[in-house]
């Protein structure tokens, strides 16, 4: 019986120490931001999904920056400055990504024209 | 006849699959984007592995020497592979080699240095990996060459190889 009591006590203590690591409010934001970041070590995964040392550190860093009062944008900007745009899943619109953003739009318009011709002209 | 043909085809298919999978076993394919150097200057302070005193990184950079940062850990196998090159770089009088112990147990770090030698002038502790992220690192091992403005101008991801070592040595000679 005594052992069970100690065991329960230990469990409670451990639980508290775990929840202290990230405050509830920050945890939601850390999750949100880390879902938008690519883990650069296991590149098929997001930082949120990955358990690599790199991803764990990034999550810690996001939490630390949030606690310091940094905004989400500031955190993304910091990471983009460190690792380049590749770390975010949302590539910005510039000369290099022009085709990436443009091709779907061009195909959409081209397809629309084809359908239009088929239906209304012939 | 047909059965034999299918069998041979299957055999060829499996051998090719085996060769492809086997050859890629040892290939590390991590895509590294073009941007590999930082525009911002490196700024951090951390505890020293041996003295346990908080040290400002800037105070370690010396203008007359080529400053190199090496991120390593005792639990990392490739770090062992590159260690002989680091030992040689540490012997060079014109090189100031600073180590960052990445997410490592202090005892294990010291044991590693005892076993393989200590090429570093200083070793700073990065307990949770945040310093390495501030530098722009992915993991271990990584080596950075810093210029006098405390900016990174060369970065090696993964263990140093012979050709990297020679490149660093020629940079060190150019510097002097």
Q: What is the structure's pLDDT at A73? A: 92
Is the minimum CB–CB distance between B121 and chain A shorter than 8 Å?
Answer: no
Task: Report the chain A residue with the minimal C-alpha distance to residue B42.
Answer: A82
Looking at domain A23-90, its CATH class is: mainly alpha
Runs of H (alpha helix) within chain B: 2-23, 77-91, 106-116, 130-135, 162-175
Q: What is the structure's pLDDT at B24? A: 80
Structure tokens, A36? 């938008």
Does a cis peptide bond (omega within 30 degrees of 0) precede residue A59? no
Is the minimum CB–CB distance between B37 and chain A shorter than 8 Å?
Answer: no
Assess if residue B137 is contained within a domain.
yes
Assess if residue B4 is contained within a domain.
no
Q: What is the structure's pLDDT at B37? A: 56
How many angstroms separate the CA atoms of B28 and B21, rounded? Answer: 13
CA dihedral B137, B139, B142, B148 (to 10 degrees): 20
CATH of the domain at B120: 3.40.30.10
Assess if residue B115 is contained within a domain.
yes
Is the minimum CB–CB distance between A51 and chain B shorter than 8 Å?
Answer: no
Question: Which domain covers residue B124, as residue numbers?
Answer: 40-175
Cβ-based neighbours of A104, under 8 Å, separated by 6 or more: none
Q: How confident is the model at residue B63 (pLDDT cuts 50, 70, 90)?
A: confident
Percent of chain A with pLDDT strictly greater than 90: 47
Q: What is the structure's pLDDT at B106? A: 93
B31–A86: do the CB atoms touch at under 8 Å?
yes
Structure tokens, A6? 């100690």
Q: Which has the closest alpha carbon to A87: B31, B152, B159, B29? A: B31
Domain count, chain B: 1
Assess if residue B63 is contained within a domain.
yes
A60–B128: do the CB atoms touch at under 8 Å?
yes
Asked whether residue B27 carries a pLDDT value surpassing 80, the answer given is no
Residue range B130-158: mean pLDDT, rounded? 87
Assess if residue B131 is contained within a domain.
yes
Q: What is the structure's pLDDT at B175? A: 75
Residue of B30, B103, B136 with shortest CB distance to A43: B30
pLDDT tens string A31-51: 999 999 999 888 789 999 999
**Distance to chain B for A40, nearest Cα, Å:** 7
Assess if residue B120 is contained within a domain.
yes
B139–A43: do the CB atoms touch at under 8 Å?
no
Assess if residue B10 is contained within a domain.
no
Task: Report the chain B residue with the minimal C-alpha distance to residue A62.
Answer: B130
Asked whether residue A19 carries a pLDDT value surpassing 50, the answer given is no
Block residue for tokens 């650069």:
A40
Assess if residue B1 is contained within a domain.
no
A84–B130: do the CB atoms touch at under 8 Å?
no
Beta strands in A1-122, from DSSP E residues, in sequence order: none
Q: Which has the closest alpha carbon to A58: A93, A28, A83? A: A83
Q: How confident is the model at residue B34 (pLDDT cuts 50, 70, 90)?
A: low
pLDDT tens string B89-131: 999 989 999 999 999 999 999 999 999 999 999 999 999 999 9
How many angstroms separate the CA atoms of A118 and A18, rounded? Answer: 63
């Amino acid at each position: 019986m005594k052992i069970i009591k100690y065991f329960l006590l230990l469990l409670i203590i451990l639980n508290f120490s775990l929840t202290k690591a990230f405050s509830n409010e920050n945890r939601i934001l850390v999750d949100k931001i880390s879902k938008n970041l690519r883990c650069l070590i296991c590149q098929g995964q997001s930082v949120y999904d990955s358990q690599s040392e790199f991803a764990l550190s990034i999550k810690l860093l996001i939490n630390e920056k949030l606690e310091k009062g940094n905004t989400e944008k500031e955190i993304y900007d910091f990471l983009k400055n460190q690792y380049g745009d590749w770390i975010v899943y949302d590539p910005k619109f510039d000369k290099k990504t022009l085709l990436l953003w443009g091709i779907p739009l061009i195909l959409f318009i081209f397809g629309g024209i084809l359908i239009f011709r088929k239906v209304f002209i012939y | 006849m047909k059965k034999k043909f299918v069998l041979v085809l299957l055999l060829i298919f499996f051998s090719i699959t085996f060769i492809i999978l086997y050859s890629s076993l040892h290939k590390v394919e991590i895509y590294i984007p073009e941007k590999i150097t930082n525009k911002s200057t490196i700024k951090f302070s951390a505890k020293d592995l041996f003295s346990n005193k908080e040290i400002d990184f800037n105070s370690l950079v010396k203008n007359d020497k080529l400053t190199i940062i090496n991120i390593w850990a005792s639990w990392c196998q490739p770090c062992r592979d590159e260690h002989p090159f680091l030992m040689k770089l540490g012997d060079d009088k014109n090189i100031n080699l600073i180590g960052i112990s990445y997410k490592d147990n202090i005892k294990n770090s010291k044991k590693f240095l005892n076993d393989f030698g200590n090429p570093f002038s200083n070793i700073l502790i990065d307990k949770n990996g945040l310093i390495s992220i501030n530098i722009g690192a992915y993991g271990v091992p990584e080596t950075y060459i810093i210029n006098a403005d405390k900016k990174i101008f060369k970065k090696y991801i993964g263990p140093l190889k012979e050709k990297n070592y020679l490149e660093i040595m020629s940079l060190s000679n150019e510097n002097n």
